Amino acid sequence: MQFIGELWAFLKARKKFWLAPIIIVMFLIGALLFATQGSVVAPFIYTLF
């Protein structure tokens, strides 16, 4: 959680708010791939990409 706080402080201080959606999408894709690892749903998720 400290990393997220520091990242938000960096984005706020440098006025780089346009990076926030990119970081969020990358986090969501990583979480999706991690959650489906070894799952029955994994083949269906991988066909989306």
User: Could you report the per-residue pLDDT of 16-28, keeping only the tens digit for each?
Assistant: 888 889 989 998 9
- Residue with token string 């990242």: 7
Query: Residue 48's pLDDT is what?
Result: 72
Roughly what angle, to the nearest 10 degrees, separates helices 19-35 and 2-14?
A: 160
Name the token pair of 14: 């440098």
For the full predicted model, state whether its pTM sits above 0.85.
no
Distance, in Å, from the CA atom of 16 to the CA atom of 4, rounded to the nearest integer, reads 15
